Structure 1
Amino acid sequence: MNKPIIFCDFDGTITNTDNIIAIMRKFAPLGWEEIKDQVLSQAIPIQEGVSKMFSLLPSAMREEITEYILNHAEIRNGFKEFVAFTKEQEIPLYIVSGGIDFFVEPLLEGLVPKEQIYCNKSDFSNERITILWPHTCDEECNNECGCCKPTLIRKLANQDQFKIVIGDSITDLEAAKLADKVIARDFLVEKCNQLDIEHSPFHSFFDVIDILKKEVVPSA
């Protein structure tokens, strides 16, 4: 097997819940759920949906929102051990997230170096929160992904590397189509089943370590 490389989602994968949804439930006015449903059904692009949802929130709430997420988000069991395992096995690990810098980076501080984290950025200088998109789609993708995971895979992985994608949602589907190995939970499992994408389900990152030991680094 070629040398593995891992691309791991953040919201709902590393964390037990989706932080954008948690923020909207707590702080957004009516109307955000309709936008979320349009994203999940692929009626509107992810970039458009996330922009619309955050534009419902005043920038003045920055501290309150950040504090809420940092106090309520839970890192999934086994993630710390999983990161240690990838280091020990010298497997490159990248966090590719449709989440936003103001909560992704603080939650991963001390666990994953900043240069291995790719996520969307935020601008609180206007009346409403604006989301910035430093990792948009390349010429091979026209899905308006926001943080385009397939583009990042093409940018960061060599063709001969064994690409592992870990995720849970619609935002991970296009990346899963490019992977040599998909490790999935929740909505991504449903989509993989629908589209006949081979995958291994997981609940905790201890499961992920077991899958990697069995299938990717059997000598570990």
Structure 2
Amino acid sequence: MTKKQIIFCDFDGTITVNDNIVAIMKHFQPPGWDQLVEQVLAKTISIREGVGRMFALLPTSRKQEVVDFAIGNVRIRPGFQQLLDYCRHNGIEFYVTSGGIDFFVYPVLSQFPIPKDHIYCNGSDFSDNHIRILWPHACDEHCHNDCGMCKTAIIRRYSPEQYDRIMIGDSVTDFEGAKLVETVFARSILVDLCKDLGLNYYAFDDFHDIVKQLEELKVQ
């Protein structure tokens, strides 16, 4: 039986050129945000705790400013539409698995033909004094990393017996998922992790590189 290819693609720093959460924090500069980023990267606090605490520093009175900046600041990495076209023409299922937040992930991706139920990200609540992040895709019983948006829980729904699972990512939120899938397309610090663990990976700069590599893998 030929396995069906399925792609799990990160959003911040992967589909987008920049990391939107860090960009928001750098722009609004709430006191203490930079220490939280350092703690997440050093893994002394979980991603869920770090991101939750960062956004809790921002008052909801600035909601429109935050939303406008987040959406207006985004630059899409070249070749993304071409990758979506390639997936459609080749019957590859495409999912966005994002540690980002709904108020910028959905508007940015609305320009692309991705069904909403193929986009996984965190939620947000602006009803109180400070922004509260919601976690609708928490870790399953196999993951104890307190991911917030658990990529491994989503990947595990697709059996390796039936699916050839491909992950595209760049950072700490992609580490655990990269260990599970059959193929990784990596950039930034994810390249180092893949090297260290001997994972099956290909480095990329933009999505044109990925389309080219998928074509090459097809004929092997």
Q: TM-score range by the shorter chain?
A: over 0.9
SS of match in other structure, 2:24: helix
Q: Report the Cα offset of residue 2 of structure 1.
A: 2.0
- 1:85 aligned partner: 86
- 2:122 aligned partner: 120
Contact 2:31 2:57 in 1 (8 A): no
Structure 1 regions of 5+ residues with no counterpart?
A: none
- 1:47 aligned partner: 48
SS of match in other structure, 1:136: coil
Contact 2:139 2:149 in 1 (8 A): yes
Q: Report the Cα offset of residue 136 of structure 1.
A: 0.3
Identity %: 47
The separation in 2 between residues aligned to 1:90 and 1:110, in whole angstroms, is 21
Contact 1:183 1:202 in 2 (8 A): yes
Give the alignment's TM-score, normalised by structure 2. 0.96
Contact 1:28 1:57 in 2 (8 A): no
Q: Report the Cα offset of residue 194 of structure 1.
A: 2.3
- CA deviation vs aligned residue, 1:36-62 (integer Å, no higher than 9, x gap): 011111111100000010001011111
- CA deviation vs aligned residue, 1:121-163 (integer Å, no higher than 9, x gap): 00000100000000000000010000000001112x1332110
- CA deviation vs aligned residue, 1:175-206 (integer Å, no higher than 9, x gap): 00001000000011122122222310000100
The separation in 1 between residues aligned to 2:219 and 2:127, in whole angstroms, is 50
SS of match in other structure, 1:6: strand
The separation in 2 between residues aligned to 1:173 and 1:43, in whole angstroms, is 15
Please report the RMSD computed on the Cα atoms of aligned residues, expressed in angstroms: 1.2
SS of match in other structure, 1:11: helix
Amino acid at match of 2:75: E
The separation in 2 between residues aligned to 1:191 and 1:32, in whole angstroms, is 25
1:20-169 to 2 correspondence within 5 Å? 20-111=21-112, 112-155=114-157, 157-160=158-161, 161-169=163-171
- Count matched residues: 217
The separation in 2 between residues aligned to 1:110 and 1:19, in whole angstroms, is 17
Give the alignment's TM-score, normalised by structure 1. 0.96
- 1:176 aligned partner: 178
- CA deviation vs aligned residue, 1:96-125 (integer Å, no higher than 9, x gap): 000000000000003122111000000000
Structure 2 regions of 5+ residues with no counterpart?
A: none
